[in-house]
Amino acid sequence: DSGVTQTPKHLITATGQRVTLRCSPRSGDLSVYWYQQSLDQGLQFLIQYYNGEERAKGNILERFSAQQFPDLHSELNLSSLELGDSALYFCASSQRQGDSNQPQHFGDGTRLSIL
Amino acid sequence: GIQVEQSPPDLILQEGANSTLRCNFSDSVNNLQWFHQNPWGQLINLFYIPSGTKQNGRLSATTVATERYSLLYISSSQTTDSGVYFCAVGGNTPLVFGKGTRLSVIA
């Protein structure tokens, strides 16, 4: 058990819809990262938050947004969903800002299926 | 950005055999992690190893940061070792993942 909790585990919805994925980091971790794993793109970094503020952005679509709340949990919002958004979405957390000399701990992921 | 290459892409082993998985990266890093993705999709953190050697049971890993590669050794493989093994690296950036090595261990 990594200590990172993601909900829901599975999500099935239709094109054009909007969903919210939730992540609770390990106790004491201030940084939260979101990654997307799709068949064609592999595992890709989307966005990072540290203590409530956005710190880094990767290959995140404009239709996607995220935030980190005062209690440090994070939500990833996906809107105007397309078939290609079907993927496994992972949340990871680490203690401090940046990746210097510290591991990231991954949740079990949310599997999103767009019909 | 940093490029990560893993080899081999696929590996089939008989139960009990040993194997070595390789990860090459294109720039200096201060974070390197090995993961095992099981058939249920879970990413299991195996090693955090930006440099040096670590061992955990039948698994061990070595990273030679100056030569920009890391090796994951699996000894006496078991069917439960099947899955995809990912190497991920980072500098002062979030992790960049390789494409993985798909391991199948046959009884």
pLDDT in tens, chain A (115 residues): 889 999 999 999 999 999 999 999 999 899 999 999 998 889 999 999 999 999 999 989 999 999 999 999 999 999 999 999 999 999 999 986 554 567 899 999 999 999 9
Q: Which residue numbers of A have CB closer than 8 Å to B's CBs?
A: 2, 33, 35, 42-45, 48, 56, 58, 88, 90, 92, 98-106, 108-109, 111
Segment among A13-22, A93-102, B1-10, B93-102 with least mean pLDDT: A93-102
Question: Given this model, what pLDDT does residue B92 score?
Answer: 66
Residue B103 to residue A2: CA distance in whole angstroms: 23
N-term to C-term CA, chain A: 31
Question: Given this model, what pLDDT does residue A99 score?
Answer: 47
Q: What single-letter DSSP state applies at residue A15?
A: T
Q: Which residue has the tokens 């082993």?
A: B13
Say whether B5 sits in a helix, a strand or coil: strand
Q: Which residue has the tokens 């000399």?
A: A101
Q: Please give the residue of chain B at the shortest CA–CA distance from A43.
A: B97
Q: Please give the residue of chain B at the shortest CA–CA distance from A31.
A: B94
Question: Given this model, what pLDDT does residue A41 score?
Answer: 84
In this complex, which of B91, B95, B99 lies closest to A45 when CB atoms are compared? B95
Q: What mean pLDDT is predicted for residues B67-77?
A: 97
CB contact under 8 A, B42 and A44: no
Question: Given this model, what pLDDT does residue B93 score?
Answer: 73
**Each residue of B32-55: pLDDT tens digit?**
999 999 989 999 999 999 999 999
Q: Please give the residue of chain A at the shortest CA–CA distance from B99.
A: A42
- pLDDT surpassing 90 at residue B77: yes
Question: Given this model, what pLDDT does residue B90 score?
Answer: 87
Percent of chain B with pLDDT over 90: 88
Percent of chain B with pLDDT over 70: 98
In this complex, which of B43, B94, B100 lies closest to A33 when CB atoms are compared? B94
* B28/A contact by beta carbon, under 8 A: no
Residue A85 to residue B4: CA distance in whole angstroms: 24
Q: Mind telling me how many Å the CA of B84 is from chain A's nearest CA? A: 12
Q: Mind telling me how many Å the CA of A67 is from chain B's nearest CA? A: 17
Question: Given this model, what pLDDT does residue A95 score?
Answer: 82
| Predicted confidence band of residue B57 (pLDDT cuts 50, 70, 90) | very high
Residue B30 to residue B7: CA distance in whole angstroms: 21
Question: Given this model, what pLDDT does residue A97 score?
Answer: 59
Query: What is each CA distance from A105 to A4, A75, B70, in whole angstroms?
Result: 7, 17, 20
In this complex, which of B41, B45, B86 lies closest to A111 when CB atoms are compared? B41
Question: Given this model, what pLDDT does residue A98 score?
Answer: 53
